[in-house]
Structure 1
């Protein structure tokens, strides 16, 4: 069997480029060095005055998290594919003889960033890169939230009551191994979906309410470029409306208009937006036990044309990156969702740059 030489590898990499390697485009377009300052500050590695093996380059490790998020990979699978795929090695700048981080090293790196709460700084760092490239928040903003599933917990009614009250169940306190596997922050809620047609072609009288366990990803995107500008992670049972006032409104947008569905319609939110100078395009709720007036139907339909654009963000995240929380606790869930938001903005940035280049 012929052993591959240098020219064989180069030929294969050239062929990958011709097939449209997204990682190669990402490497050429995104300046990953911009993250170095924030990574160094949050990792706080020692000066190695006492010796020991030097840590892997933090930018290299962050790029591994990007690969992992982009392809929905576990730590073990990530380690394997870095060793196996030429495209991954080229993106990371690794040669065939270079040392590759193992699964434990990847886990420790992500944990260190998670404990430092670095994900918001990293998101804002890339948002600054987008703004410097000319992608300013423009034409108003669109708010929405999506449920993100987490591994279901099997707890007793008493344990659920303790968790709702913010207490650690008594039976867990002297069992650290059990406690470490219990997610005390994810919550159950009902997910309402459109009912499917029955065999006779009719629809049930009400939508379906499906129990759901996990977290909720709240985002605000700008209407012009559809980039995520603000975001927040909460448990699944949190109301969407309160996030409008507390976390999501972006005052740097060049337009004051705000689009959102009826979950964000409340007197408190309308008063807040009017006071802060925002123009509300939030959907109007149907009157209780009364038919929806025709003029409100037309108004909501017009708003939906614009508001629906935020649904494409969630669809992209769930189809392309398999957005799902496999970890325990809201701190790690925030890291997972934050990485998904950064990777979405990177992919959107690549698309916008390609569009502007006319290719």
Structure 2
């Protein structure tokens, strides 16, 4: 966020000539018109000034007669990716940040396109057999099955790299050489990739115990290597850091419609009849932010599933947070899911929406 956004605040009585000076000095190609309480009244850009001059409005014209009274704004919780999308779609160089109607900042395109960098390791689970995708996985580990021209795991890796992550660990078991040969040490992508190998299957959480003691004292993002998603990982990490739980689990709301009328009864007496009700559930999305203390609690070569590990902390009244995922998400577990992922990636489906 621009640190000198206060320099482009002007009252509505400011003349167009004075506004030109403010815009020039602010070097952001706009000025924010506010009242005495910092409520946003409008935005004026260099383009607005030029159009006013074409209309023969004088330089002494109050800027309230020139400004855009309905500008595009965002809140402080708007993700970086969403802001970037808004700016690109609308051709904007900046967006005012508003809270309760008042200006609290100004996000600029120049600032937002600066690639962030996070030292938090990313742990990708790639050791599964992919049994439900046979025969495709007879001679190829599931993470290397291609979506378009790239393997599933490479698509996932690129998503994290685009969000600013550069330190990766990949857990392997089934056909580990194929995965290591493809990704190497990560230098092809300008990142570092390390491997932990399960000599025997350790469940969905057991490989945490194989991570080195030299990990930085930071939460790690852990993700199944068969999940295709547009989760905003930056926002996920910020969410975890804000609430500081032992673990944050990404969840997805799913609906199940019962295709029959549901009867509730007391003994032989029917007390209600609901026709084809819909039930909503949160399901585990296979993406976690895990604290260092949870990692340390898993012993080397201990077999444990993430659900069991998390349930043990819940039973001990530890704080486990959930992060609802509304973005694109697909678990590539069955053949029909793989075909859907192919469609979404190759044909410009929801994954690119």
Q: TM-score range by the shorter chain?
A: under 0.3
Q: TM-score, normalised by structure 1?
A: 0.26
TM-score, with length taken from structure 2: 0.26
Q: Which has the larger radius of gyration?
A: 2
Task: Point out which structure has higher relative CO (alpha carbons under 8 A, 6+ apart).
Answer: 1
> Which of the pair is proportionally richer in helix?
1
